[in-house]
A and B are shown apart, each in its own frame.
Chain A
Amino acid sequence: MSVILKDLNDYIAPSQACIKPVEVKKTSTDNNNVIKIDNSGEYYEVSQEGVETKLQPASITLEDCLACSGCITSAESVLITMQSQEELYNILRNNKQAIIDGKSEKIIVVSIAPQSRASFATKFGLSPLKVAKRLTYFFKSLGVHYVFDTSFSQDFSLLESAREFVERYRKFQEFQENHGTSSESKLTKNNRIKRENTSSEDATQHKRSSDICLPILASSCPGWICYAEKTHGFVLPYISKTKSPQQIMGSIVKDYLASKLGVKPNNIYHVGVMMCYDKKLEASRLDFFSEEYQTRDVDCVLTTGEIVKMFEEQNFNINESSEMPLDSFVKTSQEGQLLRSSGSASGGFLEFILEYSARELFGITGIDVEKEHGVVVKIGRNKDFKEISLEADGKPLLKFASAYGFRNIQNLVRKIKSGNSPYHYIEVMACPSGCINGGGQLKPNESLSIKDWINEVNNTYRSIDSLSPEKNETVLNLYSEWLGGKDSPKCKTMLRTQYHAVETLTNPLAVKW
């Protein structure tokens, strides 16, 4: 396991030592017992009468890890053991046994992220379409029933994020008008008072209800969300409430697909194939767990690298593999070509939201952010910070930014805290270079530098045509058929979520010089 951990380049590193106080069930109330350790390292409690009882090792669950502020990190080792290919193999084995026993099997669904697909395609020298068809073959030959693509659910995520932005922008404007401040001065100044009080998080600005907090910060990066919840509670109201593509696919599979197939959500086992270990954390959030059915929207997340390990375990050679036609929830053209959304390989949030809100708020059409048409682009102090504004007569109407990597997140968080952020929307990603460089992605062959490798994977990602989410007919149909319209209460439950500040844990024993 240390090999996997060593290769992680997510900014979040495991903490020195886990300091979560663990509740251990006491076997007796007698305080005079002694603890014995045998040769194999097992612990026994020995009572005064000499009776030995084996003690249970204390264990940290993923939920413990999520709820603890002891370290910023996702304890990757916890994640890796709880969501692994072994777990998927178990489900597949149980299914085979269920068929023999004449019992009903679980429906197994695999949803693949386009960033993972691009990583496979670059590594094995295949087109993304061939990768999609061969992965479909691979998973179905193992006993999986459906293989989907999270570019499909990403379109929901983009549409919903853009609507949320426009809603919040309008409420923000309304608030400013009612309180006699122009939006511009509110965003850029608002600061003198704050500066003297920078460490106080309950200053009035932060008490404002979240529906008028600007900038909106992107929500699809679980590393960023986890970090914000554990260390910067004040920033949570700013974070977009729209679910990530992975979790919207979770809603589609466990709600829409389940009802279509006439099965209960807990009879579907849903696996995500993702670019990032922290997606495992996201899948484990209680917000995405159904009490009623005791099931998660995404049951297990495997990284791109873990899938290559499965290839090896299954003696599968993707370069010589058969292909299978793509399933329904895959973003494709009518001719069966794969499609993506315009913009960065981190999901294209900034690009789509800017184009959508330019039209909705200012009636400006025809801009193309990816091609830098109609917007002003400024690269920041480093390549992972970019500023993109929509201007009219030299004045900025909308100011967006993308901030990738820990160093840029730090500056961003400080700017928001001091009221110094001039932005309306910020696409935040924890990894330098964004999702395409996720910690779970495949590594380059030795001859290639990391930088060139990321460029290649990025180019593969962008090698397929783009289609606006607003033109994705299947998605638009599902809005009415499944959700009952774009403003329905069901939209809120299926497409939006919430965040929770984790209380700081102070453990005096954890202090070191």
Chain B
Amino acid sequence: MTTRLYQIAELKGHTDRVWSVAWSPTGNVLASCGSDKTVRLWVSNSDTEWICTNVLEGTHKRTIRNVAWNPDGRQLATASFDSLIGVWEQEEEGGDYESVATLEGHENEAKSVSWAKSGTLLATCGRDKSVWIWEVGTDNDFECLSVLQEHTQDVKMVMWHPIKEILASASYDDTIKIWKEDEDDWYCSDTLEGHESTIWSIDFDKTGEYLVSGSDDKTLKFWRCYRPDNREGIITDRNEPKWKCICTMSGYHQRCIYSVSWSKVHGRIASCGGDNTVRIFEQEESTVSGSTIDTTNFSMIASVTSAHGVVDVNCVQWYPTEKHSNWLATAGDDGIVRIWQLTEE
């Protein structure tokens, strides 16, 4: 039995490169954003027929680098090179989206935005090396809770833990940092070192116990969270959990990895990058029994070369629910958003 990726739809409309795609929490809407300073929302009538229902524009004066849905599905946040974070809300079902807040604070290019599971916290990051945590108040009043400045370089991506209020950030300083809140402020509880170059993308598995990272060093790394007094005997400090790399996948991507996505439904991992290729990995059954160190392995089960022709694939995202859990959306420098289906034959 082989596993293959088929393209099922091409979504055309952006007039310049597409940087990011994001499925709404139910999967009913796909948002995409890019250098044309717009966000486009896409809905499918059938598997192959997609229409652009909304174009969100006017707020950002430069490239929109990233877009993220509030878990309530009503709001979207955007991170732009114009340094602003935009928050958009749909007035009524089927209606227009309007800009309800713009968050100023980043000194220059904002790179990524992420909503916590509860929808009450928003994290942002950017070229100014900072990570910001905002509290979502009533009436779209956002309050800055913390400005975290421990990364020594450009912060490429922020991603919340799927369950807890724990944030991960990935940086040009080759590290991933884990952030938590204590009684008065947020602090860095762990720094994940191991990648040899910029980390462009991170994603948690559905439990939040594992993390995957994709880097300019062409590798994917899998990390596992070990609690104090773990039975594997991993040493932890200050009573904080410790993240350790349990697997490095090299020799697959030939160039920089720009994006990773860990399906919360079936646990497969998708990655893409500068080699124009989309790859799918799957966790193998545990191979060593009785070992004190987790030796979980991953293997590649499918790939598509030239997924966006001869250009970079900037972003990959698994469909979020059971309904089409084998669907993937990708964004490319060709200005096109593509939908793929993973099939077993």
Residue positions of A touching B, CB distance < 8 A: 11, 13, 15-16, 71-72, 198-199, 231, 381-383, 406-408, 410-411, 414, 420, 432, 510-513
Contact = CB atoms under 8 A, between A and B. Distances in A.
B198 to A, nearest CB: 10
B109 A512 contact: yes
Interface in B104-125: 104-105, 107-109
B179 interface: no
A410 B144 contact: yes
Contacts of A510: 108
A71 B184 contact: no
A510 B62 CA distance: 14
B102 interface: yes
Contacts of B308: none
A420 B129 CA distance: 29
A311 B222 CA distance: 51
B215 to A, nearest CB: 15
A11 B135 CA distance: 20
B207 interface: no
B81 A407 contact: no
Contacts of B185: 382, 407, 432
Contact of B147 (A231, A381, A407, A414): A407
B7 interface: no
Given A198-B102, A383-B184, A512 B143 contact: no
Nearest to A414: B104
Contact of B127 (A72, A199, A407, A512): A512
B145 interface: yes
B143 A411 contact: yes
Given A407-B145, A411-B144, 10 more contacts: A13-B149, A16-B154, A231-B107, A407-B146, A407-B147, A408-B144, A410-B105, A411-B143, A414-B104, A512-B109
The 4 lowest CB-CB distance pairs between A and B, nearest first, are A410-B144, A407-B144, A406-B147, A382-B184
Nearest to A407: B144
B109 A381 contact: no
A383 B127 CA distance: 29
A83 B105 CA distance: 31
Nearest to A196: B99
Nearest to A451: B184
Of A406, A510, A513, most B-chain CB atoms within 10 Å? A513
Contacts of A512: 109, 127, 154
A511 to B, nearest CB: 7
Contacts of B129: 13, 16
A16 B151 CA distance: 12
Contacts of B107: 15, 71-72, 231
A410 B147 contact: yes
8 contacts: A15-B107, A16-B153, A71-B107, A231-B107, A381-B145, A510-B108, A511-B81, A512-B154
A72 B81 CA distance: 17
A80 to B, nearest CB: 20
A11 B145 contact: no
Contacts of B102: 198-199
A410 B144 CA distance: 7
Of A410, A411, A510, most B-chain CB atoms within 10 Å? A410
Given A199-B102, A382-B184, A511 B109 contact: yes
Contacts of A16: 127, 129, 153-154
Interface string B54-96: 0000000000000000000000000001000000000000000
Nearest to B105: A410
Of B135, B143, B145, B185, most A-chain CB atoms within 10 Å? B143
A37 to B, nearest CB: 27
Contacts of A410: 105, 144, 147
Nearest to B19: A513
A420 B143 CA distance: 13
Contacts of A381: 135, 143, 145
Interface in B125-163: 127, 129, 135, 141, 143-147, 149, 153-154
Of A11, A198, A414, most B-chain CB atoms within 10 Å? A414
A11 B143 contact: no
Nearest to A408: B144
Nearest to A382: B184
Contacts of A13: 129, 149
A90 to B, nearest CB: 35
A167 to B, nearest CB: 31
Interface in B232-288: none
Contacts of A383: 184
B98 to A, nearest CB: 10
Of B109, B144, B146, B153, most A-chain CB atoms within 10 Å? B144
Contacts of A199: 102, 104
Contacts of B105: 410
Contacts of A15: 107
A420 to B, nearest CB: 8
Interface string B174-194: 000000000011000000000
Of A198, A407, A411, most B-chain CB atoms within 10 Å? A407
B313 to A, nearest CB: 15
Contacts of A511: 81, 109
Contacts of B146: 407
Nearest to B108: A510
Contact of A11 (B81, B147, B153): B147
Nearest to B82: A199
A251 B198 CA distance: 51
Contacts of B154: 16, 512
A387 to B, nearest CB: 14
Contacts of B184: 382-383
Nearest to A420: B141
B142 to A, nearest CB: 8
A202 B154 CA distance: 32
B202 to A, nearest CB: 17
A406 B104 CA distance: 13
